[in-house]
Amino acid sequence: MSEEQEIIEAVGKAKKPGTFKIMDVLQERAFPTEEVEVYLNEAVAYLAAQIDEKIEAIDKKMAKLEEGSPDFKKLSKERASILKEKEKALDDIDDSSFTFHLTGISEGKREDLYALCLKEYPMEYETERNVFTAQSEKKEIDNPDRDRYFTTLLWQACISKIVDSDGNEQEGITFDEAAELRRSLPFAATAKITSAVEKLRTATAVFLMTVNEDFLAKSSPGTTTDGSKPS
């Protein structure tokens, strides 16, 4: 499924017919959601991938051999042994799995979070001379600390629940927990969550746009969506 299709699906789930409540929307309870499954044991995940490569190589060899031949039987026995390795690796992966439940936030909330970043890390500028006009121009100085702070705030705002492999749940996270997660999670897990948070931004924008259209229509009984009287 493409990212565009995933966004449309997220919006569709959030905006179910007959469940529209403007107060739920304003309080961000009805916003699009996303679930991201991550694994903490990257070493085991890598091992499972290597095992898959071994099995694929054995399958190619077996395809060239006559079934029942000594070499075929030898490879078949080796394949069965490797499959047992894979089963154990997959069990270990499941034990290290966590599902992050994410909920979109409004653009206004996002702007509020960025304002907190500017308060913590004020904008700084440097002066540069434009090579074409020879005039001095003010250029914003990048601040990696501000970027990290903002992303951590977004994680805190968007992560509504974490569920472990046994079904135990944690509702929401604190800023310190979000910071520790970003420091300690494997890179692949961090990248998946950050990508999902950004995808939710698009889904939320589409959701709010369609909700606004519905609200205008439902707030004016006896009129069409453009405000005119029905014929």
In sequence order, what DSSP letters do the residues of 23-62 get, joined into one string? HHHHTTSSS-EEEEEEES-HHHHHHHHHHHHHHHHHHHHH
* Predicted local confidence at residue 206, as pLDDT: 78
**Residue 150 one-letter amino acid:** F
* Structural domain ending residue among the three candidates 95, 123, 140: 95
CB 106: neighbour CB atoms within 10 A? 18
Q: Do 153 and 203 belong to one domain? A: yes
Q: Which ranges of 96-186 does DSSP label H, i.e. alpha helix?
A: 107-120, 144-158, 175-184
Q: Do 125 and 208 belong to one domain? A: yes
Is 133 among the domain residues? yes
Contact assessment for residue 146 and residue 117, using Cβ atoms and an 8 Å cutoff: yes
Q: Do 116 and 200 belong to one domain? A: yes
**What is the token pair recorded at 190?**
């961090």
- Separation CA 154–CA 106 (nearest Å): 11
* Predicted local confidence at residue 87, as pLDDT: 82
Q: Do 90 and 197 belong to one domain? A: no
* Predicted local confidence at residue 50, as pLDDT: 85
Beta bridge partners of 162: 100, 170
* Predicted local confidence at residue 229, as pLDDT: 47
* Predicted local confidence at residue 12, as pLDDT: 64
Q: Do 25 and 126 belong to one domain? A: yes
Count of structural domains within the chain: 2
Is 77 among the domain residues? yes
Is 131 among the domain residues? yes
188-to-57, 156, 163 alpha-carbon distances in Å: 26, 19, 18
Contact assessment for residue 119 and residue 149, using Cβ atoms and an 8 Å cutoff: no
Using alpha carbons only, what angle is made at residue 6 by residues 196 and 208, rounded to the nearest 5 degrees? 80
Q: Do 177 and 90 belong to one domain? A: no
What range does the domain containing 82 cover? 41-95
- Give Cβ neighbours of residue 200 (< 8 Å, ≥ 6 apart): 10, 31, 32, 33, 34, 102, 103, 104, 105, 158
* Predicted local confidence at residue 133, as pLDDT: 78
Q: Do 52 and 148 belong to one domain? A: no
Is 228 among the domain residues? no
- Separation CA 89–CA 194 (nearest Å): 27
Q: Do 112 and 167 belong to one domain? A: yes
Is 224 among the domain residues? no
SS3 96: coil
pLDDT digit of tens for each residue in the chain (231 aa)? Answer: 566 666 566 656 655 655 555 555 555 666 788 899 888 777 776 777 788 889 999 999 999 999 889 999 999 999 999 988 888 777 777 677 899 999 988 888 999 999 999 999 999 888 887 777 777 788 888 999 999 999 999 999 999 999 998 899 999 999 999 999 999 888 888 998 999 999 888 888 877 777 655 544 455 555 444 444 444
Is 132 among the domain residues? yes
- Separation CA 44–CA 40 (nearest Å): 9
Q: Return the DSSP state at 171.
A: E
Is 203 among the domain residues? yes
Sheet of strand 97-103: strand arrangement: 33-39, 97-103, 159-164, 169-171
* Predicted local confidence at residue 23, as pLDDT: 52
Is 231 among the domain residues? no
* Predicted local confidence at residue 101, as pLDDT: 96
Q: Do 67 and 113 belong to one domain? A: no
Q: Do 49 and 130 belong to one domain? A: no
Rg (CA), the chain: 26
Q: Do 126 and 196 belong to one domain? A: yes
* Predicted local confidence at residue 224, as pLDDT: 45
Q: Do 52 and 134 belong to one domain? A: no
* Structural domain ending residue among the three candidates 66, 95, 124: 95
